[in-house]
Amino acid sequence: METGADAGEPVTGPSALVLATLDSKGPEAAYLAEAIRRAGVRPLVLDLSVFDLPTTTADIPREDVARAAGADPKNLRTLARAEALDVMAKGAALIARRLLDSGELHGVTGLGGSQGTVAGTRVMATLPFGLPKLMVSTMASGNTRPYVGTADIAMLFPVVDLSGLNRFCRSALDNAGHAIAGMARAWQPVRPAAQAEEVAMTMFGSTTPCVTRLATRLREHGIEPVTFHANGVGGRALEEWLGHGEFSGVFDITTTELADELVGGHRSAGPERLEAAGRRGIPQVVAPGALDMVNFGPPHTVPQAFEGRLMHRHNAGTTLMRTTRSENRQLGEWMAEKLNRARGPVGLVLPRRGFSAYDLAGGPFFDPEADAAFVSAVKSGLRPGICVVEVDAHINAPAFADAALDLYLGLRANDA
């Protein structure tokens, strides 16, 4: 049996947790642990395996992991592999949190195929933002959204399968060991918000000029902007962080994810998008940024049902589809319904000359009638008390950003 984290000279100082199923990835986990040790950080190997015997020793044996989750290690063998790994991930997450709270954890890494990646990233996702997290995974070259979600998890693709040590595998694990060690040595917990006011913002490439100007103007007023990419995952992260009370207000300029949710695009943030700020009761300024488009991947990913619709190739990996008048009308009704439920001050700012960089005179998505369908529906659906400002400008014009800022400052003053 190979030795894992007990090999080599003792290392003091920062430590990194190594997550792996040691019945199938024992030698690889031991090599990664030793690479971390050579980089000057203390590895703590945690065994996520259930069924076969581990092939290397662990600092945190699988029996302890199972018990941490309130399970009998022997009973886990009667479960399906996925169910057993769910239990082990729960136990590992509780152990990782205890290590962190006691000051004994400075980073987390893991390695695996599909099952190991699910378990490892599930543990990582429970840990606070900013704590270094690195998953070495053969799944890292595909769709990583099921593993990363809204957590700050880095993934390293080893190219070869993690099945037996060879020069390719060793090279990838050496890189991973040095990467997590370097991050662990440098890590400092993210500090709570300072005295400066922080507001969240949403941005897309096609609304960047607007949000950039807003950010500049906000800083002039002593307000710190934090921008989220409205690409589906970004919107979900925004809703989560707003729900946790991280921000005092929000400029939800780019609400394009609603169009993907309604029509069936690839960048939906889920049906609860545009609701967390309202539940918290914080000031929010909302705009229809990029609601003129639905996002798909390369052209072959566009469903056949949309054949004949107006498309634009944003880049090699993104195909945009213009929303129709009917869809814009539904989006207006839906947005009004969401904003009507808000407990705090709400303002809606509407650009009358286009919703995105593609929706302007001469642009591929310029369609004033489709935009007007949204404006009419949202205005008629809003309850009294929600301030609506219409700006005779494009969304990326300076005048629009300035109007959005003035609206927010007014809402904030009235809410004080």
Residue 38 identity (one-letter amino acid):
R
**Residue 242 vs residues 160, 216, 218, 246: alpha-carbon distances, Å:** 40, 22, 19, 6
Residue 77 resides in a domain: yes
Question: What pLDDT score was predicted for residue 4?
Answer: 46
Answer yes or no: do 111 and 216 share one domain: no
pLDDT of residue 7 exceeding 90: no
What's the burial of 248, exposed, middle or buried (CB within 10 Å: 0-12/13-18/19+)?
middle
Residue 4 resides in a domain: no
Tens digits of residue pLDDT in 204-237: 999 999 999 999 999 999 999 999 999 999 999 9
Question: What pLDDT score was predicted for residue 1?
Answer: 34
Nearest CA among 275, 258, 253 for reference residue 402: 253
Among 186, 218, 248, residue at a domain's last position = 186
Average pLDDT over residues 20-26: 94
Q: What gap in Å lies between CA 320 and CA 335, rounded to an integer?
A: 21
Average pLDDT over residues 367-390: 97
Answer yes or no: do 229 and 374 share one domain: yes
pLDDT of residue 88 exceeding 90: yes
Answer yes or no: do 104 and 69 share one domain: yes
The answer to whether the beta carbons of residues 48 and 65 sit under 8 Å apart is yes
Question: What pLDDT score was predicted for residue 97?
Answer: 97
Among 132, 163, 186, residue at a domain's last position = 186
Answer yes or no: do 226 and 116 share one domain: no
Residue 175 resides in a domain: yes
Among 122, 156, 186, residue at a domain's last position = 186
Tens digits of residue pLDDT in 119-152: 999 999 999 999 999 999 999 998 898 999 999 9
Answer yes or no: do 277 and 397 share one domain: yes
Q: What gap in Å lies between CA 390 and CA 351, rounded to an integer?
A: 6
Answer yes or no: do 264 and 362 share one domain: yes
Answer yes or no: do 221 and 156 share one domain: no
pLDDT of residue 10 exceeding 70: no
* ∠ CA 83-138-75, rounded to 5°: 20
Angle, helices 167-186 vs 26-38, to 10°: value is: 50
| DSSP secondary structure of 288-320 | -TTTTEEEESSGGGS-GGGTTS-EEEEETTEEE
Residue 191 resides in a domain: no
pLDDT of residue 329 exceeding 60: yes
Residue 82's pLDDT band (boundaries 50, 70, 90)? confident
- Greater pLDDT, 81 or 285: 285
Nearest CA among 367, 357, 340 for reference residue 394: 357
User: Can you give the residue range of the structural domain that contains 20?
Assistant: 15-186
Total number of domains constituting the chain: 2
Answer yes or no: do 30 and 164 share one domain: yes
Answer yes or no: do 219 and 154 share one domain: no
Q: What gap in Å lies between CA 414 and CA 244, rounded to an integer?
A: 23
Question: What pLDDT score was predicted for residue 5?
Answer: 45
Answer yes or no: do 202 and 182 share one domain: no
Tens digits of residue pLDDT in 334-365: 999 999 999 999 999 999 999 999 999 999 99
Tens digits of residue pLDDT in 394-415: 999 999 999 999 999 999 988 7
pLDDT of residue 389 exceeding 90: yes
Residue 9's pLDDT band (boundaries 50, 70, 90)? low
Residue 3's pLDDT band (boundaries 50, 70, 90)? very low
User: Which parts of 102-166 fold into alpha helices (H)?
Assistant: 114-125, 145-148
Residue 192 resides in a domain: no
**Which CATH number fits the domain that encloses residue 28?**
3.40.50.12020
Question: What pLDDT score was predicted for residue 194?
Answer: 58
Question: What pLDDT score was predicted for residue 415?
Answer: 75
Residue 286 resides in a domain: yes
Answer yes or no: do 170 and 263 share one domain: no
Q: What gap in Å lies between CA 9 and CA 37, rounded to an integer?
A: 8
Nearest CA among 308, 305, 269, 317 for reference residue 290: 269
Residue 284 resides in a domain: yes
pTM of the predicted structure, to 2 decimals? 0.85
Average pLDDT over residues 266-290: 97
**Which CATH number fits the domain that encloses residue 382?**
3.40.50.12030
Residue 6 resides in a domain: no
Residue 43 identity (one-letter amino acid):
P
Tens digits of residue pLDDT in 169-197: 999 999 999 999 999 999 988 776 556 78
Q: What gap in Å lies between CA 225 and CA 207, rounded to an integer?
A: 15
Q: What gap in Å lies between CA 76 and CA 403, rounded to an integer?
A: 59
Q: Long-range contacts for 77-86 (Cβ within 8 Å, ≥24 apart)?
A: 77/50, 77/51, 79/50, 81/50, 81/51, 81/115, 82/115, 82/118, 84/50, 84/51, 85/21, 85/48, 85/50, 85/115, 85/118, 85/119, 86/119, 86/122
Answer yes or no: do 174 and 209 share one domain: no
Average pLDDT over residues 285-298: 97
pLDDT of residue 8 exceeding 70: no
